[in-house]
Amino acid sequence: MKSCVALLAVFLPLSALAAPTPEALDLVRKFVAEELHGNPDDLADVDLATLEGHPLYGAPGRTFDTDDCNLVRALFDVLYADALPGLALPALGTGRAYRGDTLNTFHTLFGRPIPGQPGRFAGLERHEPSDDLRARAAAFHRTYHTLGNLAPLPNRSLGRLTFNTYRGTHAEWRDAFPAFLQNLRLALLADPAADPTLCQLVELNAEAFREFRTPDGLARFAQRLDLDDYIDPATGLPIPHYAPNAHFLPQSAAAYFAAADRYLTIAPVLIQRRAARIIARLRRLLPAGESAD
């Protein structure tokens, strides 16, 4: 594999910490006040996929994608305006400097829902699962589009490739977020073993990563985005919570069920723990008693 060559660049000094935009704050306050009866804690359990078709919080005038809908864009602005350079509402969205990503995905391992068969998924059904495994997969399908499983990533593209699309289509990572983080760390360090395409994407997004091109850089990047549980605090290295896997790969039913069990055990915990961090951050940004005008 070709070595990754870091490009020389001159960066401007870091600006003062950014504040959330008023538009983003207003939209989040409005959602909390009107949809959650003023309780931001409930945001952790909202299935954001249900916003499809909503004229305000959804994606009016464009194709709906849960991790890129209007409410999620506003939430990323409010939560992470000071996390990465230029991460604010005008720069958030498909084709812009930053875009939302779903961390622990569903379809690669379990397949898409089978029309007319609620709670059944094409990839899972190939292996004749138990009713218990079906129920766990269905529960995760309701969970994986909650806020604790969504994060903004730099989004400047190499042709049609972005971090979002490249991690989802890479033949070895197969959309596994821990594997992506392991490879991102190598690219940030310009390690000779780094994936060359990922290195190019890092360079295209150099401004976003300018603080993180050091041995501890990935750990600091993760901390900024409440991804602490994906990094070993003792080593600063990504934790291999689960191995890349996919329902369409040739494998035995036993191997597939072992991978599915592992994923359904760890992914919901990662989502819940990150959601707790996010809600604590949001409560600091939206003091008690605040509501939309």
Per-residue pLDDT reduced to its tens digit, 71-112: 999 999 999 999 999 999 999 999 999 999 999 999 999 999
Residue range 153-168: mean pLDDT, rounded: 96
Determine the pLDDT at residue 268: 98
Distance CA 239, CA 181 (A): 9
Better pLDDT: 9 or 136: 136
Output the CA torsion sign for 281, 287, 289, 293: negative
Distance CA 114, CA 122 (A): 6
Better pLDDT: 203 or 8: 203
Percent of the chain with pLDDT over 70: 92
Which one-letter DSSP state was computed for residue 98? E
Residue range 258-277: mean pLDDT, rounded: 98
Asked if residues 271 and 143 have their Cβ atoms less than 8 Å apart, the reply is yes
For 75, the enclosing helix (H) or strand (E) is helix 70-80
The amino acid that residue 185 corresponds to is R
Asked if residues 189 and 215 have their Cβ atoms less than 8 Å apart, the reply is yes
pTM over 0.85: yes
Listed residue (144, 184, 152) closest to 166, CA to CA:
184
Distance CA 284, CA 92 (A): 22
Residue 104 dihedral angles phi and psi, to the nearest 5°: -100, 100
Residue range 132-154: mean pLDDT, rounded: 98
Which one-letter DSSP state was computed for residue 100? E
Distance CA 70, CA 67 (A): 9
Residue range 4-29: mean pLDDT, rounded: 64
Listed residue (101, 87, 99) closest to 207, CA to CA:
87
| Angle separating helix axes 70-80 and 22-35, nearest 10 degrees | 120
Whether residue 290 has pLDDT greater than 80: no
Asked if residues 70 and 77 have their Cβ atoms less than 8 Å apart, the reply is no
| Tokens standing for residue 242 | 């689960």
Distance CA 89, CA 79 (A): 11
Determine the pLDDT at residue 288: 56
Specify which residues 101 forms β-bridges with.
151
Whether residue 133 has pLDDT greater than 60: yes
